[in-house]
Structure 1
Amino acid sequence: MSKKASLNFRFRYLTRTVLCLFAVCSPSLFGADAVLQRLPAALLVPGGAAVVPTASDAIRGEYKGERVLLARFEGEQYAIIGIPLSAKPGLQTFTLDNRAGETETLGFSIADKAYTEQRLTIKNQRQVNPNETDMTRIQAESAEMKAAFRSWDEALAPTFSMIPPVDGVRSSSFGLKRFFNGEPRAPHSGMDIAADEGTPIVAPAAGRILATGNYFFNGNTIILDHGHGLISLYCHMNTIDVEVGRQVIAGEQIGRVGQTGRVTGPHLHWSVNLNNTRIDPALFLAD
């Protein structure tokens, strides 16, 4: 591709993407409960999301080997794509398959974002440098969660407007560059909301309980499937009040705030996954 053609390609799809960020989708998207609202303009960054208009006959999309959520609104179809924190600034491409068996490549451009640092002191040194036994457990738990995050439920109608899962104070935002006891660790993959131990935690949107468990780092954890690759995660809970397979509605209690796993105090760690990619949960909260 020539430099001129590359620039034209980039401009074309960046323009289409920015324009569609101001779309508001009606409840007819997937069902009576599915509402796609305008996402913030600062989406096209690592850890954000892209909303790209597509051909109406597209039936399946893929981005970085993961299936893409497709949604309709007023005769238009959109690909809604989670952008990983590891993504580099510049042009991103994804593919769409149509009913005729043809494949089309589309693109969108992302800008860089400088996430700030957070330095925490963890009293339990094993939570910073696990021993061999701990690592065996951690690897098994990681495999379980990775499998859950790749779930794709066609029957569930995803909702893109969520309510806060707990009444508290945001103590850590998404994407922070983290250091535990001075040692660098993976960026923060969710939002932390500090609250008193025992504070009720509710489902921010309707879905099905995909998995529950007690994990080394995450403590008491719930994974909630909202459908079509939109999945949320709730960690460090005191109690888990739902069982696997249960259907919940927005606002229904699923557990209580605790301080299990790797923590510095009672809080809820809340993550949102789209196309098996952790993205900023704040994108789904009402203004």
Structure 2
Amino acid sequence: MIRPILFLAFLVLYIPAFAAHYTGKQGQIIVVKIPASGPITNIEGAFRNRKVYFFLNEKSEFVGLLGIDLKDKPGTYPINIDISYNINSGLEAQRLTYKVAVERENFHVEYFTVPMEKVTLTPKATQRANGERQQVRDTLNDESSEKLWNRDFVIPVKGRQSGVFGSYRVINGQPRSPHNGEDIAAPVGTEVLATNNGQVRMTVDHFFSGKGIYLDHGLGLYSMYFHLSEILVKEGEFVRAGQVIGRVGKTGRVTGPHLHWAVRLNGAYVNPFALTELGF
């Protein structure tokens, strides 16, 4: 199981930015902590053109969650952290730069040979699926700067893990998109819980994902729940961690009842179970 990674960066006001190096695998979360030293008015980071939000915790530390996408290519990349200070009623700025080495995760691969009519969509279905993908992109790209979640994330349903994050299938010699979430098999009607506090940004009934819920937890963190038989919340509604938001089903393009649970952090798809193991 992928675990988040804790990295503490000690900041002293107005010292030169120093370089640090860290290594993480595709799908992991890196926790960056910066002690609140001096009159900091704003702090934000950027990694691979993705914004990294920071928040102040109860220990007077600024904390940022850096997600390594399951498709990020192995290599070394910088994370730049820009800090603004209010000094004598004037604003001053400092940039810290850290190096993050992304390593390849050994994701599971399955090979299948099936009749083409089983995997090729009709023009009508293709048009529908493309429109739905754009709808999802537009929603997920609208990131809230308000933190709604608390430190304890919950697994949304009890069941058997039937689909592994990052795995992908090669069908008739053609690789398909990697699995961007975790599948948890459970009987139809099993309660599905919100993994944390958040706002319902979108409910859907899509071609591939079936009935689904998109929860915005703030600071670029979204969780998704697909293939539901019932949706028990409405768009715009605020929910609490552990609240029942839907029921397991087999809607959409599936072979049996299960929950597809996915998490997107600052534009990166990460292993959902990493959230349940965050160590602050």
Instruction: Give the TM-score taking structure 2 as reference length.
Output: 0.80
Partner of 2:12: none
2:267 is equivalent to residue 276 of structure 1: yes
CA displacement 1:35-87 (0-9 Å, x = unmatched): xxxxxxx9810111112234744522222222212133423323211111222
Does the residue aligned with 2:129 lie in a helix, a strand or coil?
helix
CA drift at 1:162:
1.3
Partner of 2:52: 68
Q: Tell me how many residue pairs correspond in the alignment.
A: 250
Partner of 2:83: 98
Instruction: Give the TM-score taking structure 1 as reference length.
Output: 0.78
CA drift at 1:190:
0.2
Partner of 1:50: 30
Alignment equivalent of 2:196, drawn from 194, 199, 205: 205
Residues 1:76 and 1:251: Cα distance change in structure 2 (over 3 Å): closer
Alignment equivalent of 2:221, drawn from 221, 230, 242: 230
Identical columns (%): 32
Partner of 2:161: 170
Residues 1:244 and 1:122: Cα distance change in structure 2 (over 3 Å): farther
> 1:153-192 residue pairs with structure 2 within 5 A?
153-180=144-171, 183-192=174-183
CA drift at 1:145:
0.7
CA drift at 1:125:
4.6
Alignment equivalent of 1:87, drawn from 63, 72, 82: 72
Amino acid at match of 1:66: R
Which is worse superposed, 42-51 or 248-257? 42-51
Which is worse superposed, 134-143 or 153-162? 153-162
- Cα RMSD, aligned residues only: 2.7
Partner of 1:257: 248
Residues 1:159 and 1:123: Cα distance change in structure 2 (over 3 Å): farther
CA drift at 1:101:
4.4
Partner of 1:37: none
Higher helix share: 1
State how far apart, in whole Å, the 1-side matches of 2:25 and 2:131 are: 31
Contact 2:205 2:211 in 1 (8 A): yes
Contact 1:159 1:226 in 2 (8 A): no
Contact 2:23 2:101 in 1 (8 A): no
Point out where structure 2 has 5 or more consecutive residues left out of the alignment: 10-21, 85-91
State how far apart, in whole Å, the 2-side matches of 1:179 and 1:142 are: 22
Residues 1:121 and 1:227: Cα distance change in structure 2 (over 3 Å): farther
State how far apart, in whole Å, the 1-side matches of 2:115 and 2:190 are: 24
